[in-house]
Amino acid sequence: MGDLAHGVALVRAFAEVCKPFPFQFAFKLQYRDLDTFIHKAMRGRDDVKYIKRFSETRLTRKQFDSLVAEIRANGFLCLSTPFDEPSVAVIEDQGLDAIKIASCSMSDWPLLERVVQTQRPLIASTAGATLEEIDRLVSFLTHRQKNFAIMHCVGEYPTPDAHMHLSQIDFLQRRYPGVHVGFSTHEDPDSTDIVQMALAKGARVFEKHVGLPTAQYPLNAYSASPQQVQRWLEAAQRALLLCGEGVQRQPANPVERASLRSLQRGIFARRSIAAGETVHAEDVYFAFPPQDGQYTANDWSKYATFTAQTAVAADAALTPHNTSQRDMRAKVWEIVQRVRAQLAASHVVVPARVDLEISHHYGLERFDEAGLTMLTVVNRSYCKKLLMLLPGQHHPEQHHRQKEETFHVLHGEMTLSLNGVERPCRPGDVVTIEPGVRHAFYSAGGVIIEELSSTHISDDSFYTDEAVNANRDRKTLLSYWMD
């Protein structure tokens, strides 16, 4: 209001409100070099709303310095919205923490060019902006490697509910992945549900107009009093509590896990099992309720091997005391890590979200010796795959009765055997394998092969070793392995 004492009182009042909350707070000022900002022919015009307002609330540089010092003394960060280039120099001279770009300035390119010369984080509001204008601003700041956030904002004071459009937060996050998205709020100050919805949608930077009502300075319709801000922050804190973890899978809840385990089926011996025996599916059954500490049906999978450590009577529960469990899923993850490393080293680019197929012809425990990883890029009347052997692997001999395929070596070297005749293959080599031709391959250092073929038919692979044909669990498919 152009009253330094009132500004100091306002900062101190909100410092008391903010202290109990675990958020990072900042006060934002607005800077205009009024002697150059307002056209000389328009100075003193009380009939023009904003000229009158800007003139009446003028502060000197010394007063702004005092206000900045008070803001910092009360534990706040301090930032400012500059509306002209001289004001950016003031921000730099004062060492403020960040710069706000007002909605009306987000396409003010002379000002933006000056702002990006600073090293401050930037926060830009988007009220009234077209999609093209936002695209240009985000591109401009991104190409200059700026640390910035964009704010969904409605330039209507106060904003009616029908014009709030909170789903623009979702839209901005989808359109600009990796960019911080916030919300500049102008709602009714008594509202507390809007901040909760914005937080639930992922906004984490908020701008809110505040005021300290006095007999001389009553509040306007969109500025919140200290009491209203306290309720607003309490609502925000509850929303964050309810939203909880969203970056990764939520932490384990022991009460929840115990409750769910009590509803699982336990593993019981169908017959007497001697110590040292490997337990197979036909040796067990699953029944409710589970006993304390018992293995359950959720522990049983094609990756898990159970071995009796002591004799297990018929109908007895399988537990860690009488049966050991070996879970090979850790081996699958280790294979994924090695595949990622080999792709990175080769600079071979693969499509996003392509499934990874792991072939473990003799079981996962022998994968390092015999196996293959494969990415199917397309499978129509034609087919394209990427085949990978990790260092030291060989692919057992097989043939196809219908499919013709061509191998194009992209990275690494291998030895290819065709009907028992071996030949070396290096990057750039192309070999066509006709139906009926037996083929096997080995790589000492690892290899990546592009396979082009007629359509892939799932039951058209015939291995010379019948042990491979008999292994019905020789493939593992993974959809989420690239991230």
In angstroms, what is the C-alpha Rg of the chain? 34
342-358 as b/e, with b when 16 or more CB fall inside 10 Å? bbeebeeeeeeebebbb
Instruction: Give residue for tokens 């500004």.
Output: 7
Q: Would you state the structure tokens that stand for residue 375, as one six-digit string? A: 């990415």
Q: Would you state the structure tokens that stand for residue 96, as one six-digit string? A: 């403020």
Report d(CA 13, CA 76) in Å as an integer. Answer: 12
Report d(CA 317, CA 272) in Å as an integer. Answer: 11
Report d(CA 347, CA 417) in Å as an integer. Answer: 27
Residue ranges for the chain with pLDDT beneath 50: none
Report d(CA 129, CA 151) in Å as an integer. Answer: 11
Predicted TM-score (pTM) of the model is 0.70
Please give the order of strands across the beta sheet that includes 414-418: 421-425, 414-418, 439-443, 393-399, 462-463
Q: Are 399 and 438 in contact (CB under 8 A)?
A: yes
How many other C-beta atoms lie within 10 A of the C-beta of residue 375? 21
Tell me, what amino acid is at 421? V
Q: Would you state the structure tokens that stand for residue 210, as one six-digit string? A: 């505040």
Relative orientation angle of helices 61-73 and 85-94, to the nearest 10 degrees = 50
411-426 as b/e, with b when 16 or more CB fall inside 10 Å? bbebebbbeeeeeebe
435 Cβ contact list (under 8 Å, min separation 6) = 399, 400, 401, 402, 403, 404
Q: What is the pLDDT of residue 247?
A: 82
Q: Are 122 and 109 in contact (CB under 8 A)?
A: no
Q: Would you state the structure tokens that stand for residue 213, as one six-digit string? A: 């009502």
Number of alpha carbons in the 13 Å side-chain half-sphere of residue 26: 16
Q: What is the pLDDT of residue 473?
A: 82
45 Cβ contact list (under 8 Å, min separation 6) = 51, 52
Q: Would you state the structure tokens that stand for residue 227, as one six-digit string? A: 């009491």
All structural domains of the chain, each given as residue ranges with its CATH number in brackets, are 4-243 (3.20.20.70), 260-327 (3.90.1210.10), 330-478 (2.60.120.10)
Q: What is the pLDDT of residue 330?
A: 87
Report d(CA 1, CA 17) in Å as an integer. Answer: 21
124 Cβ contact list (under 8 Å, min separation 6) = 100, 101, 106, 137, 141, 148, 149, 150, 151
Q: What is the pLDDT of residue 167?
A: 97
Q: What is the DSSP letter of 314?
A: T
Relative orientation angle of helices 4-18 and 61-73, to the nearest 10 degrees = 20
Q: What is the pLDDT of residue 482?
A: 83
Report d(CA 186, CA 402) in Å as an integer. Answer: 68
